């Protein structure tokens, strides 16, 4: 849950659509003690915080609030602002030093004339743009908001072009809420949705093509056909608002029940259950003639497909719902936002980029697991990885991950680096995995051993205790970062020549007879037609002791022309595991992907034998 703290209503803009209306005259800045008390109360139920107003940067104790939020260990500390004060570089630096780590400035035009007219503040455009530039130079996450009005809706594509040039991480177009000044100026501010629709879609398409995360707010589904995946209400976190008039415990419910409305025709629409409808003031003024129910068929975007970030979000939401992990949704949405910033669909032609996994076992333990690699974006990947670590405050050692990422630099970073995240039931903090993969394709075994020795040095592990056989072929290395700054190390050794007989011999030698049934289910008799290979993994704890052994079968999906060749193999693993829930959720994912024009491809089949128990894991990705 997110806490929205309104710290005051003073503002150095005078926007013609401001919903706060006369509050700036009636209340001004709020009392510092009251604000801090609200922050302390909010922390008991909220992980993230956003400072709003008015203009929060005008409060005399603004920096004090940000520092206090950091001291309270809020994960994301967002500043929702007009961005003008961030045109001063030192102000930016101080806000960041105090703890702010996400910024949401508002830009309402592509030119000074357009923006300054709407803000009624000459010079505001330049300051806001300069503020965005300063924040991006300092490596900050910038998420902009643009209010759609009669005077700017035809220029939304131009605004999108500007935001892309400025390098913002995400931009959103919001339909005006006719309250406050927007209500007073309704006739000159609020446009017809039917006129706005094509310009919104053109602007979104520019962002999508540029790999930006884009959203709309307060535009119903019937005006977003083909772009349903970009409706913000689908993923907005639960928000608790602390206002001068009291606390709104769940703004989402209030927004739906009191702010929005639906017509008698809306139940006929396929999106009735998920659509909130328009702000109720809109049909009170214009009526319902523009709103046409969407009745049949799955609606694709204008390219005939759904976006990758959309399918990623839908799969993660399905797993969260199926395994009762709803408390993870807000954090997973933030991580998705980080990972898919500047994402290019073309990367999927040559690489899987991401995968999910499902664990099948006889226990009730459930987890959410996914990974994402650096293909196509090696320079930016490190920043994405560090941002994800920073989401969890000081639960992990940022210095240690920085040192780890530097190990490969002298050798050209030719390996594939992957981040994996695993949440177990009732755990707020994930296991964060950093993999160094594809090593055998780029380095000699002696070089790989040098990497491993350096990694051990960073992690303070005795390399000799690993007892890696001199003839072993090391294919990959993984470091598990656990909460409270604990770590595990895994070394993946490739077995190039393997068959059922040699694998079963290995099982007997290592006392893993219980895994034999599952193993047989992943040894494909038609294997010669597919490019697969095997890993046997040894896991090491901080003291260098072996924690468990895992057997992997890796699929080279670029060589698999038809996913139907191997998807049944994944189903067999789940069936043989006697885990009905895991089998059901995999079937749902396959159906979901088929509906959206994607196919499920297996990536890995694995058997884990640890602490006297066993389980099977299936890893999969989606492609066209």
pLDDT digit string (tens) for 190-208? 999 999 999 999 999 999 8
* pLDDT for the residue numbered 193: 96
Percent share of the chain, pLDDT over 70:
84
The predicted structure's pLDDT at residue 104: 98
How many C-beta atoms lie closer than 10 Å to residue 38's C-beta?
19
Question: Does residue 42 contact residue 4 with C-beta atoms inside 8 Å?
Answer: no
What is the pLDDT at residue 497? Answer: 53
Q: Per residue, what are the HEC states of 176-213?
A: CCCCCHHHHCHHHHCCCHHHHHHHHHHHHHHHHHCCCE
pLDDT at 309: 84
- Give the separation between CA 30 and CA 59, rounded to whole angstroms: 8
| pLDDT for 352 | 85
Q: According to the model, what pLDDT value does residue 330 have?
A: 84
When comparing pLDDT for 49 and 468, which is higher? 49
The yes-or-no verdict on residue 569 having pLDDT over 80 is no
pLDDT digit string, tens, across residues 15-50: 999 998 778 878 889 999 999 999 999 999 898 999
| Residue range 127-163, pLDDT digits in tens | 999 999 999 999 999 999 999 999 999 999 999 999 9
State mean pLDDT over 514-543.
Answer: 51
Residue with the bigger pLDDT between 504 and 360: it is 360
Average pLDDT, the chain: 84
Least-confidence region, from 107-111, 119-123, 344-348, 555-559: 555-559
pLDDT of residue 359: 82
Query: What distance in Å separates the CA atoms of residue 113 and residue 124, rounded to the nearest whole number?
Result: 10
Report the residue count for the chain. 624
> How far, in Å, CA of 497 to CA of 362, rounded?
31
What are the b/e assignments for 229-244, b being 16+ CB within 10 Å?
A: bbbebbbbbebbbbbe
Residue 214, H or E segment? strand 213-217
pLDDT band at 500, cuts 50/70/90?
A: low
Alpha-carbon span 549 to 607, nearest angstrom:
9
> b/e string for 538-547 if b means 16 or more Cβ within 10 A?
bbbeeeeeee
Report residue 302's pLDDT band, with 50, 70 and 90 as the boundaries: very low
pLDDT score for 548: 54
253-300 residue pLDDT tens: 899 999 999 999 999 888 888 899 999 999 999 999 999 998 754 444
Whether omega before 54 lies within 30 degrees of 0, making that bond cis, reads yes
Contact predicate 143/170, CB 8 Å: yes
Tell which CATH architecture fits domain 2-250: Alpha-Beta Barrel (3.20)
pLDDT at residue 530 above 50? Answer: no
Query: pLDDT band for position 412 (50/70/90)?
Result: low
Q: Are 92 and 124 in contact (CB under 8 A)?
A: no
Which segments of the chain belong to CATH 3.20.20.70? 2-250
pTM for this entry: 0.58
Q: What does the radius of gyration of the chain's CA atoms come to, in whole angstroms? A: 26
């Amino acid at each position: 849950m997110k806490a929205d703290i309104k710290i005051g209503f003073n503002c150095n803009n005078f926007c013609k659509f401001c919903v706060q209306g006369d509050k700036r005259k009636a209340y001004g800045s709020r009392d510092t003690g009251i604000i801090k008390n609200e922050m302390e109360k909010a922390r008991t139920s909220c992980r993230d915080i956003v400072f709003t107003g008015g203009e929060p940067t005008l409060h005399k104790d603004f920096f004090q609030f940000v520092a206090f939020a950091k001291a309270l260990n809020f994960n994301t500390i967002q500043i929702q602002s007009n961005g003008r004060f961030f045109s001063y570089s030192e102000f930016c630096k101080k806000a960041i030093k105090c703890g702010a780590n996400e910024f949401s400035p508002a830009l309402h035009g592509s030119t000074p004339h357009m923006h300054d007219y709407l803000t009624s503040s000459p010079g505001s455009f330049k300051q806001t743009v300069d503020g965005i530039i300063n924040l991006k130079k300092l490596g900050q996450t910038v998420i902009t908001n643009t209010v759609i009005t009669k005077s700017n809706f035809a220029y939304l594509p131009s605004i999108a072009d500007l935001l892309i040039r400025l390098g913002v991480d995400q931009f959103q177009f919001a339909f005006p809420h006719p309250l406050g000044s927007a209500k007073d100026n309704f006739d000159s501010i609020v446009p017809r949705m039917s006129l706005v629709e094509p310009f919104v879609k053109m602007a979104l398409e520019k962002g999508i093509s540029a790999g930006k995360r884009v959203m709309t707010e307060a535009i119903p589904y019937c005006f977003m056909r083909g772009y349903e995946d970009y409706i913000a209400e689908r993923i907005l976190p639960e928000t608790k608002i602390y206002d001068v008039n009291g606390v709104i415990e769940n703004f989402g419910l209030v927004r739906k029940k009191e702010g929005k409305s639906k017509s008698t025709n809306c139940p006929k629409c396929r999106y009735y259950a998920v659509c909130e409808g328009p702000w109720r003031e809109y049909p009170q003024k214009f009526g319902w003639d523009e709103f046409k129910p969407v009745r049949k068929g799955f609606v694709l975007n204008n390219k005939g497909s759904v976006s990758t970030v959309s399918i990623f979000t839908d799969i993660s939401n399905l797993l969260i719902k199926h395994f009762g992990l709803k408390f993870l949704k807000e954090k997973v949405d933030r991580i998705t936002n980080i990972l898919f910033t500047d994402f290019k669909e073309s990367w999927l032609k040559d690489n899987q980029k991401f995968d999910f996994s499902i664990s099948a076992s006889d226990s009730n333990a459930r987890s959410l697991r996914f990974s994402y690699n650096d293909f196509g974006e090696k320079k930016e990947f490190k920043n994405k990885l560090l941002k994800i670590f920073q989401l969890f405050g000081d639960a992990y050692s940022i210095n240690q991950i920085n040192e780890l990422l530097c190990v490969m630099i002298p050798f050209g970073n030719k390996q594939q680096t992957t981040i994996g995240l695993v949440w177990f039931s009732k755990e707020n903090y994930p296991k964060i995995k950093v993999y160094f993969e594809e090593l055998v394709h780029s380095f000699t075994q002696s070089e790989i051993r040098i990497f491993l020795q350096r990694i051990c040095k960073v992690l303070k592990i005795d390399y000799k205790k690993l007892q890696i056989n001199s003839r072993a072929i090391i294919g990959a290395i993984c470091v598990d970062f656990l909460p409270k700054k604990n770590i595990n190390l895994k070394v993946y050794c490739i077995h190039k020549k393997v068959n059922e007989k040699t694998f079963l011999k290995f099982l007997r030698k290592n006392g893993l007879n219980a895994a034999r049934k599952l193993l047989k289910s992943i040894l494909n008799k038609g294997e010669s037609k597919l490019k697969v290979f095997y890993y046997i993994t040894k896991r090491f704890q901080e003291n260098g002791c072996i924690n468990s052994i895992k057997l992997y079968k890796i699929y080279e999906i670029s060589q698999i022309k038809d996913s139907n060749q191997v998807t049944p193999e994944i189903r067999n693993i789940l069936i043989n595991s006697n885990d009905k829930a895991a089998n059901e959720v995999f079937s749902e994912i396959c159906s979901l992907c088929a509906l959206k024009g994607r196919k499920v491809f297996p990536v890995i089949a694995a058997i884990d034998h640890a602490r006297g128990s066993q389980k099977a894991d299936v890893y999969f990705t989606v492609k066209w």
